[in-house]
Structure 1
Amino acid sequence: MIKLAVFFAPRSGTVRGTASSATMRLVQFCHRGDEGGVRVGVEQAEGQGVIDLKAFDPSMPSTMRELLEMGQKGMDCAKRALSSGQHVVARSDIRLLSPVTGPEKVVCVGMNYKDHCLEQNAPIPKEPIIFSKFPCSITGPYDDIILPEESQEVDWEVELAFVIGRKGKHIKEEEALSYVAGFTVANDVSARDWQMKRNGKQWLLGKTFDTFCPLGPALVTTAALKDVHNLGVRCLVNGATVQDSNTNQMIFQTEKLIAWVSQFVTLCPGDVFLTGTPPGVGVFRNPPVFLKRGDVVECQIDEIGSIRNTVV
């Protein structure tokens, strides 16, 4: 897993107006042997443990969504916990969960990389193409992807994801980053037969089977990233690189997506956005390649991390 050292103070080059100026990597986890006990933690520096936020302050909630709903109070507590260095749990004693579970919305963007459009000889969209996954499709950064019997064409899609940190409607583009709690890595697993040939060619069913949205490993605050729109993005299947691009290929960047979607719906803390995938997906290979049981899919984004899921 790619790891990032955590520092308490914001660093130079931070995007102005973000929801929290602190450089942090927030996680959800459970203690091994207590799989139902969700906790929120703050990662320490590389090779070190995770600070249990509720152990540090019993008034803190147990889920990321509830923490984000607290606003700046929750983020300030996480900063104090990180600075204290107390209540650290070892990596070997915990299992990382998706950084966010049970969001109100999972908003997805189609055809949002220039090089992905070129891959399929498709025109560059003039406005964002929006679809959704159901929240129950979310799974953890190292959990299994379940291959459904109903599909024979399951594909990979590495994506940059971000999580909304505060409620808003009709958000202005120049203020949009202040609504972002942080960024994470996603795999928009897709059943291409259901996406492209069934259900009237509407994308929802092909995108939303159980376990079709691995997320993680951490929610990385915006201040921790030099430039979120200039990060290397890769997907490996069984160790072989199948996607290799950069977020600078995104047609509609984070601010535009927030402004666009918030015209239609109120964005709430914990809402997850998947921002599109670069070229190299299986369906457009010649011949097409699809996932099979036993395959291991690893999605990586520079400065954020890596998720690794086995197909079962």
Structure 2
Amino acid sequence: MRIASIVTSEGPCVGVDDGDSVIDLRSLAPELPADLRRLLQLGPEALADIGRRARTGGRRLDPERVRFLPVIPGPHAVWCAALNYPTHVREGNWERPSRPPFFLRVAGSLCGHLEPIVQPTVSERLDYEGELAVVIGRRARHVPMADAYEVIAGYSCFNDASVRDWQRHTAQITSGKNFAATGAFGPWLTTVDELAENEIENAELTTRLNGTVMQRTKIGEMIFGIPELINYLSTISELLPGDVIVTGTPGGVGARRTPQVFMNPGDLVEVEIDRVGLLRNPIVREES
């Protein structure tokens, strides 16, 4: 099942992918929350029930006539892994990490599918970073790696767009990672039952800028795999339903190319992951 956070003329709600249309969850289960994070808090059984109900019908919406929000519009935490693909480590001539490096994104830095990624007025060095996002489905603490997939609700596409000059202001990269509307997230939460562990590991991630492939990798090429990331983070902090783990970007980022390539107003950037989804965003300049 693939579900999304959307806005219609009647307000925000959860939508279920039905191929050429989106089923409005309000028409199937008006008693359920209209917020995907709150829906996940009800547990995996609630998601399974939605899948069963969606097969019975419901009000269909035209995907072209709804607005996609970030998959989790107001997450409790967005943990982002850095330096998690060997190709990215090599292109930056960095030392291969021995533990997963993480930084945090704030909810206000996120945007949804087809929403603009905003190039800020203070920079013209806005770079793409295609990544897999893992969404947590249940409360989890000290999760053994063998049990990691049991706490996942599903997967989504993420573009961790980075303002490179601001990222390099200090040794801490957080400032360049939290400009408004730079973290594109969506369009779907593809539930974990749709992909077995080996299928998500073998899925291919592709980033395209104006139709040109800039990044391509298999998810399984990560230095720290999904179980290791969940084990490590759940040791630091209790993971909550709707928490997001953005798993890192492969080589091919614009700042490490010769000549460098950055995203500019009028560009279109896409992040596609096999069987997970296709995230597409135009680039606009921030209004002064």
Provide the TM-score with structure 2 as the length reference: 0.94
3-state DSSP of counterpart to 1:266: coil
**Runs of at least 4 residues of structure 1 off by over 4 A?**
none
Cα deviation digits, residues 22-55 of structure 1 (max 9, x gap): xx11111111x44xx11112111x32x2222222
Deviation at 1:237, TM superposition (A): 0.9
> Partner letter of residue 147 of structure 1?
Q
Does the 8 Å contact 1:194/1:201 carry over to 2?
Answer: no
User: Aligned partners of 2:204 and 2:108: how far apart in 1?
Assistant: 28
3-state DSSP of counterpart to 1:162: strand
2:140 corresponds to 1:163: no
Does the 8 Å contact 1:164/1:181 carry over to 2?
Answer: yes
2:256 corresponds to 1:279: no
> Partner letter of residue 27 of structure 1?
A
User: Aligned partners of 2:104 and 2:44: how far apart in 1?
Assistant: 28
- Would the alpha carbon gap of residues 310 and 171 (structure 1) be closer, same or farther in structure 2, given more than 3 Å must change? same
> Which of 255, 267, 270 is equivalent to 2:242?
270
User: Aligned partners of 1:235 and 1:267: how far apart in 2?
Assistant: 28
- Structure 1 gap ranges (5+): 1-23
Cα deviation digits, residues 129-172 of structure 1 (max 9, x gap): 11111111111011001110122311000000011111111111
3-state DSSP of counterpart to 1:311: strand
2:85 corresponds to 1:108: no
Q: What is the CA RMSD across the aligned residues, in angstroms?
A: 1.3
Cα deviation digits, residues 101-151 of structure 1 (max 9, x gap): 100100000000112112222232111011111111111011001110122
User: Aligned partners of 1:92 and 1:284: how far apart in 2?
Assistant: 36
> Partner letter of residue 12 of structure 2?
V
> Partner letter of residue 224 of structure 1?
E
- Structure 2 gap ranges (5+): none
Decide which moves more: 204-213 or 238-247.
238-247
The residue that corresponds to 1:224 in the other structure is 194
Deviation at 1:85, TM superposition (A): 2.0
The residue that corresponds to 2:185 in the other structure is 215
Deviation at 1:97, TM superposition (A): 2.0
User: Aligned partners of 2:47 and 2:85: how far apart in 1?
Assistant: 32
User: Aligned partners of 2:17 and 2:155: how far apart in 1?
Assistant: 15
Decide which moves more: 278-287 or 89-98.
89-98
Matched-pair identity in %? 36
The residue that corresponds to 1:12 in the other structure is none
User: Aligned partners of 2:119 and 2:108: how far apart in 1?
Assistant: 15
1:65-214 alignment, distance < 5 Å: 65-196=37-168, 198=169, 200-214=170-184
> Which of 3, 8, 13 is equivalent to 1:39?
13
| Aligned pairs, number | 282
Cα deviation digits, residues 49-88 of structure 1 (max 9, x gap): 2222222111100010010001134213312222212232
3-state DSSP of counterpart to 1:146: strand
3-state DSSP of counterpart to 2:119: coil
User: Aligned partners of 1:75 and 1:295: how far apart in 2?
Assistant: 36
3-state DSSP of counterpart to 2:201: coil
User: Aligned partners of 1:161 and 1:292: how far apart in 2?
Assistant: 24
Deviation at 1:229, TM superposition (A): 1.1
Cα deviation digits, residues 244-264 of structure 1 (max 9, x gap): 221121111111101101111
> Partner letter of residue 6 of structure 2?
F
Decide which moves more: 77-86 or 126-135.
77-86
Deviation at 1:201, TM superposition (A): 2.4
> Partner letter of residue 180 of structure 2?
D
Deviation at 1:232, TM superposition (A): 1.0
User: Aligned partners of 2:229 and 2:108: how far apart in 1?
Assistant: 23
The residue that corresponds to 2:7 in the other structure is 30
